[in-house]
Amino acid sequence: MPKIDAHVHMWNIPEAHQEALVRLAVRHNFRWLDLCAGGVEWPRLQAQMTLARGLKDRHRDKVEWAASFNLSNWGQADWQRSALQTIAASFSEGAVAIKS
């Protein structure tokens, strides 16, 4: 039976274990949505989204990902422009949703 886990955070899984997790998901007919979150820590969020894009590129039929945007610059003059640019870039890079 096909299954979808719509709330996964792959960023905290060591890189050495990520492919093993994908193999386990394939064996049990799982797909998942990797939620990238934590925009108050922009470098960490960027790393999460890089990882999610890579997983999606390597496992197109098993992984989807939701992006987010920088919140560490909230209230600054360029915040809105920056957030919209990140959202647009994320969709063009394969994100299927935005997590705020």
Question: What would the mean pLDDT of 37-52 be, rounded to a whole number?
Answer: 92
pLDDT > 90? residue 71? yes
| Token pair 């890189």 in the structure block, residue | 15
Q: What is the pLDDT of residue 16?
A: 80
| The token pair that represents 74 in the structure block | 């909230």
CA distance 95 to 34: 10
Residue 30 main-chain phi, psi, to 5 deg: -100, 150
Residue 1 pLDDT > 80: yes
| pLDDT of 79 | 95
pLDDT computed for residue 11 by the predictor:
79
Contact 40, 69 (CB under 8 A): no
Q: Give the C-alpha separation, 13 to 15, whole Å.
A: 6
pLDDT for the residue numbered 31: 92
